[in-house]
Amino acid sequence: MWGSRMALRRLQKIAVAPLSVKEGITSKIQREMSTLQRVYVTRQIPPEGLRILKESGQVQFELWDSDDVPVSRAELLKKVKGVDGLLCVLTEKIDAELLDAAGPNLKVLSTMSVGFDHLSLDELKKRGIRVGYTPEVLTDAVAELTVALLLATSRRLIEATHEAKTGGWGTWRTLWLCGHELANSTVGILGLGRIGVAIAERLAPFKVKKFIYTDVAPRPELARAINAEYVSFDELAKQSDFLAVCCALTPETKEICNKELFSKMKNTSIFINTSRGGVVNQEDLYEALSTGQIAGAGLDVTVPEPLPTNHPLFTLKNCVILPHIASASYTTRNAMSALAANNLLLGLRGEPMIKELKL
């Protein structure tokens, strides 16, 4: 497993060696430039990735030069025409329409994300397009944010800050703003992978009594690292004082966290999701929170994103919602962009990518 700082240093060293341009006149350089592979980058990615692309001498790339406003669909369909490679982020839907617009030259897609539910994998496979992605480098950042969100939700920190700012802080009261602590608790993990293990490692010093998990099958090697017990989905719901969702979004996990799950949880339970918004039925979650079926929820991901400000979940004091920032540390985002750039360049050279999806 790569820590994000170690990963960034390693990726800076791995960075694909620049293609040599022998000494020659300007016209020769211009001819060589005209033969460089064309790449479109759909967002102003962090500087390490851009540096690697610029210094590679391998590609000429065009960039949607904004980090605040995503490229429009119409603009994207126009810009991908004839490109050899595409570097995208999770806000871009890569489907048959886009791949048809790109045409037969497109051989490599590199997404600056660990998730790939924005990609039509069947369409990419059918066209023989290789796909790079950026797992592992964001494990530490996501685990840290998950713990922070869990504590903010369970100890009611957002509510407390609001009360302090708006005059609600009066005389000391015996049960005012009381929350739920981790000591002697059972923490459940839905989907035990690298991130789930990293979350458990960070929670263990809080004197958690037991870690349990469920997945499509037992993961004994990962479970041993955190002394976690494999349980059924129902038992995960029933036993967990804190339930952290870490699974990928697939057809099987879509809205797997619904009224059936929430109805089996304790009314003191805290529900945390930093995976994908689509794994949760938000109407069912609102019902569970508003009726006291569960104690609280912390969400870093929603459907849609951004979540409209008039969404019912925003009206609940026991629901903490963040704007999808789990991987948002400078080190991690630079490591992600560096890995995405390296994957793209290696793929265009016909070499093995550092991290490639097997289609």
Distance (Å, rounded) from C-alpha 244 to C-alpha 190?
6
Residue 242, SS3?
strand
In a domain, 206, yes or no: yes
| Confidence check: pLDDT of 348 > 80 | yes
pLDDT, residue 90, reads 94
Average pLDDT taken over every residue of the chain:
93
pLDDT, residue 34, reads 59
In a domain, 250, yes or no: yes
Nearest residue to 129 via CA among 337, 339, 353, 347: 347
Higher per-residue pLDDT: 9 or 337: 337
pLDDT, residue 31, reads 45
| Confidence check: pLDDT of 29 > 80 | no
The DSSP bridge pattern shows strands 130-132 and 356-357 to be antiparallel
pLDDT, residue 75, reads 98
The alpha carbons of the chain give a radius of gyration, in whole angstroms, of: 23
| Confidence check: pLDDT of 16 > 70 | no
In a domain, 149, yes or no: no
306 and 259 inside one domain: yes
188 and 306 inside one domain: yes
Q: What are the residue numbers of the active site?
A: 324
- pLDDT band at residue 21 using 50, 70 and 90 as cut-offs: very low
* 12-18: long-range contacts, CB 8 A cutoff, minimum separation 24: 12/48, 12/338, 14/342, 14/354, 15/52, 15/55, 15/56, 15/338, 15/341, 15/342, 16/52, 16/56, 16/58, 16/342, 16/345, 16/346, 16/349, 18/55, 18/56, 18/57, 18/58
Residues 259, 284: contact at Cβ < 8 Å?
A: yes
pLDDT, residue 27, reads 44
Nearest residue to 288 via CA among 324, 308, 311, 313: 313
Higher per-residue pLDDT: 40 or 28: 40
Neighbours of 227 (CB within 10 A): 10
Range of the domain at 202: 157-165+178-317
Q: 247-305 pLDDT, tens per residue?
A: 999 999 999 999 999 999 999 999 999 999 999 999 999 999 999 999 999 999 999 99
Residues 133, 357: contact at Cβ < 8 Å?
A: yes
194 and 296 inside one domain: yes
337 and 207 inside one domain: no
347 and 299 inside one domain: no
pLDDT, residue 25, reads 45
- pLDDT band at residue 17 using 50, 70 and 90 as cut-offs: low
pLDDT, residue 193, reads 96
In a domain, 17, yes or no: no
| Confidence check: pLDDT of 62 > 60 | yes
Residues 182, 207: contact at Cβ < 8 Å?
A: yes
131 and 184 inside one domain: no
Neighbours of 97 (CB within 10 A): 13
125 and 216 inside one domain: no
In a domain, 222, yes or no: yes
Nearest residue to 182 via CA among 158, 214, 157, 205: 205
| Confidence check: pLDDT of 175 > 90 | yes
Which backbone phi and psi does 202 adopt, to 5 degrees?
Answer: -80, -25
pLDDT, residue 22, reads 45
Q: 290-334 pLDDT, tens per residue?
A: 999 999 999 999 999 999 999 999 999 999 999 999 999 999 999
pLDDT, residue 35, reads 82
Measured in whole angstroms, how far is the alpha carbon of residue 231 from the centre of its chain?
25
Q: 177-207 pLDDT, tens per residue?
A: 999 999 999 999 999 999 999 999 999 999 9
Please state whether the predicted TM-score (pTM) of the whole model is above 0.75.
yes
CATH of the domain at 201: 3.40.50.720
300 and 184 inside one domain: yes
129 and 45 inside one domain: yes
In a domain, 300, yes or no: yes
Residue 187, SS3?
strand
122 and 222 inside one domain: no
Residue 171, SS3?
coil
Scanning 80-175, the segments in alpha helix (DSSP H) are 96-102, 121-126, 139-154, 157-165
125 and 43 inside one domain: yes
209 and 116 inside one domain: no
In a domain, 209, yes or no: yes
| Overall domain count for the chain | 2
Element (H, E) at 346: helix 330-348
| Confidence check: pLDDT of 82 > 50 | yes
pLDDT, residue 15, reads 64
In a domain, 224, yes or no: yes
